[in-house]
């Protein structure tokens, strides 16, 4: 979306061009990068949620 509006080359266009040219190492690298960023963002969101709302923090059972 941003690539079309601002004309910036991005990972989406790189992935599409690599798929069209059967450049599988680039495709695998793009998919690995996207998966890593997805995991990193989800971990950061979990940490921020715990910081914003202390009720959802991990608590150990006190016996």
The predicted-structure confidence for 6-54, as pLDDT tens digits, reads as follows 777 888 889 999 999 999 999 999 999 999 999 999 999 998 998 898 8
Specify whether the CB–CB gap between 49 and 40 falls below 8 A.
no
- Model pTM score: 0.71
Domain spans of the chain? 2-54
- How does 8-17 read in b/e, with b if 16+ C-beta sit within 10 Å? eeeeeebbee
pLDDT of 62 reads: 65
Higher pLDDT, 46 or 57: 46
pLDDT reading at 61 higher than 60: no
């Amino acid at each position: 979306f941003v690539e079309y509006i601002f004309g910036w080359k991005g990972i989406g266009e790189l992935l599409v061009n690599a798929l069209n040219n059967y450049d599988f190492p680039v495709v695998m690298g793009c998919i690995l990068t996207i998966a890593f960023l997805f995991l990193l963002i989800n971990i950061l969101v979990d940490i921020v949620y715990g910081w914003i709302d202390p009720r959802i923090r991990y608590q150990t059972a006190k016996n």
